[in-house]
Amino acid sequence: MSQFSASSKTKPKTTSRVVLIGTTQIRIETLQRFGLNIMEALIDNQDVTNNITVRKVPSGILEPIPPNSLGRIRDEVFSFIELNPDATTGAGVLTLQLVSTNELRRVGLI
């Protein structure tokens, strides 16, 4: 199922931000930090032995991204992401596709 509504004629214009994942927790509130919403998050877990856990809301359930795999979140627009890599072996890349609230309104997604 497409993330864009049938009435949407055009996709929103987005911008990317890339964050390297190391051995410490990453918490990003994109509306406060960048003034933008997250349309998609791609988590490349490059740790060969351990999961990276991720959540989209501060008190939400942590979901695992298995070792040596890609995780993608694109089911809704959100503005918070937390990643918890392993404290010893954590490694990877987080890529965020960001979009402004005005752009979401322009294309009819909110």
pLDDT-derived band at 20, boundaries 50, 70, 90:
very high
Alpha-carbon distance 30 to 38, whole Å?
7
Mean confidence (pLDDT) of the chain = 88
Domain boundaries, the chain: 22-106
3-state secondary structure 85-102: CCCCCCCEEEEEEEECHH
pLDDT at 107: 86
Q: What does CATH list as the number for 22-106? A: 2.60.120
pTM for this predicted structure: 0.84
